[in-house]
Homo-oligomer: A and B are copies of this chain.
Amino acid sequence: MQAHSLPTFHDVELASRRIAREARLTPLIESPALNACTGGRVLIKPEMLQRTGSFKFRGAYNRIVQLDAQEHPRGVVAFSSGNHAQGVAAAAQLRNLPAVIVMPDDAPAMKRANTESYGATVVTCDRARQDRRAIAQGIAEEQGSVLVPAYDDPHIIAGQGTVGLELALEARRRDVELDVLLVPCSGGGLIAGINLAFEALSPRTEVCVVEPEGFDDHARSLDTGQRMENELRSGSICDALLSAQPGEMTFEINRRCLKGAFAVSDDEVRDAVAFAYRELKVVVEPGGAVALAALLAGKVDAAGKSVGIVLSGGNIDVDQFCSILNAS
If the complex has contacts A281-B282, A283-B281, A321-B325, are A51 and B32 also in contact, measured as CB distance less than 8 A?
A: yes
Q: Which of B110, B281, B318 contacts A49 (CB 8 A)?
A: B281
How many Å from the CB of A61 to the closest CB on chain B?
Answer: 12
> Which residues of the partner chain B approach A24 to less than 8 Å between Cβ atoms?
29-30
Say whether A53 faces chain B, with CB atoms less than 8 Å apart.
yes
* Complex Cα spacing A73 to B134, Å: 72
Complex-state Cα separation, A48 to B322, whole angstroms: 19
Q: Inside 8 A of A29's CB, which chain B residues have their CB?
A: 24, 27, 49
Taken together, the copies of this chain in the complex come to 2
Q: For window 27-74 of chain A, which residues contact chain B by CB distance below 8 Å?
A: 27, 29-30, 32, 46, 48-49, 51, 53
Tell me if A53 and B321 are in contact (CB < 8 A): no
**A219-233 residues at the B interface, CB under 8 angstroms:** none
Residue-wise interface mask of A (87-105) relative to B, using a CB-CB cutoff of 8 A (1 in contact, 0 not): 0001000000000000000
User: Complex: how many Å from CA A114 to CA B187?
Assistant: 39
Q: Shortest distance in angstroms between A208's beta carbon and chain B's nearest beta carbon?
A: 25
Considering only CB atoms, which chain B residue lies closest to A29 in the complex? B49
Q: Give the distance in Å from the alpha carbon of A51 to the alpha carbon of B35 in the complex.
A: 12
CA distance A282 to B277 in the complex (A): 8
Known interface pairs A27-B29, A283-B283; A318-B326 also in contact (CB < 8 Å): yes
Tell me, in angstroms, the Cα distance from A77 to B135 when the chains sit together: 66
Contact A314 B49 (CB under 8 A): no
A32 to B49 Cα, complex, angstroms: 11
Central interface residue in A110, A278, A284, by most chain B CB within 10 Å? A278
The residue in A90, A284, A322 that gathers the most chain B C-beta atoms within 10 A of its C-beta is A322
Of B90, B284, B314, B322, which contacts A325 at CB under 8 A? B322
Contacts of A281 in B (CB 8 A): 46, 48-49, 53, 282-284, 314
A91 to chain B, nearest CB (A): 12
User: Which residues of the partner chain B approach A48 to less than 8 Å between Cβ atoms?
Assistant: 281
Residues of chain B contacted by A322 (CB below 8 angstroms)? 318, 321-322, 325-326
15 contacts between A and B (CB under 8 A): A24-B30, A27-B29, A29-B49, A48-B281, A49-B281, A49-B282, A277-B283, A277-B321, A281-B282, A281-B314, A282-B283, A318-B326, A318-B328, A322-B322, A322-B325
A residues in contact (CB < 8 Å) with B: 24, 27, 29-30, 32, 46, 48-49, 51, 53, 90, 110, 277-278, 280-284, 314, 318, 321-322, 325-326, 328
For the complex of A and B, 7 pairs with smallest distance between CB atoms: A27-B27, A281-B314, A48-B281, A322-B322, A281-B283, A318-B325, A32-B51
